[in-house]
Amino acid sequence: MPDTRLSRAGDKGALTELWQAVFGDNAELISAFFSLLCRPEYCRIACAGGKIASMGFCLPGPEAMGLKCAYIYAMATAEDARGRGLAAAVGSALIEDAFSRGTDIVATLPADEGLCAWYETRFGMSPLFKKGGPGVVFPDNWLEFARICGGHDPDTPQRLYAVARGGIDTAGLEDLGWELTFD
């Protein structure tokens, strides 16, 4: 599997460029994300050709029925670096990092239905939380970023995919809504 590393403060420019190239988001949204939610230890990167070619963020903070959750967001790989296992390496490292920090469940909302199988096969994730609605509790900085992002995209899947740390019982969580998906 390709090597990954935690991001550093000096990576912000390259991360912003990759984010814009893959998602097309504006600088204001990306800047708000870095200001409100991101810390270097929440981001993993993989390099190819001497530059950041893949990135992902695993954001702690939400709680579901007393369980600590984290959310994988903005997984991105440069078009010319796809198919090399970089994103799989980044995602695996993000999940491992989160569990080592005491997170009970790592969740994500795949950008489209086609990515659901990718998250299942690479990370053992399966459908869990409902997209939107009450249930999961979020810290204030998540609420602030969600106001900037706007509402849900109707084209994203209706369930978040998640994987639990060994020994964690997820029974009952499938009825909970996860409102803040930033989609």
The model's pLDDT over 75-114, given as tens digits with 9 standing for 90+, comes to 999 999 999 999 999 999 999 999 999 999 999 999 999 9
Evaluate if pTM is beyond 0.75. Answer: yes
C-alpha 173 chain-centroid distance: 19
| Residue 65 forms part of a structural domain | yes
When divided into structural domains, the chain yields a total of: 1
Confidence of residue 123 (pLDDT cuts 50, 70, 90): very high
What CATH code is carried by the domain that includes residue 54?
Answer: 3.40.630.30
- Is the predicted pLDDT of residue 135 greater than 90, yes or no? yes
Domain span at residue 88 reads 5-178
Q: Is residue 168 a part of any domain in this protein?
A: yes
For residue 83, is it within any domain? yes
Name the strand (E) or helix (H) holding 15. Answer: helix 12-23
Residue 143 lies in a domain: yes
Residue 183 included in any domain: no
Is residue 15 in some structural domain?
yes
* pLDDT range class, residue 151, cuts 50, 70, 90: confident
CA 139 – CA 83 distance, rounded (Å) = 36
With respect to residue 79, please indicate whether it lies within any of the assigned structural domains.
Answer: yes
Would residue 69 count as lying in a domain?
A: yes
Please write the tens of the pLDDT for every residue from 43-59: 999 999 999 999 999 99
Under 8 Å CB-to-CB from 36, ≥6 apart: which residues? 141, 144, 145
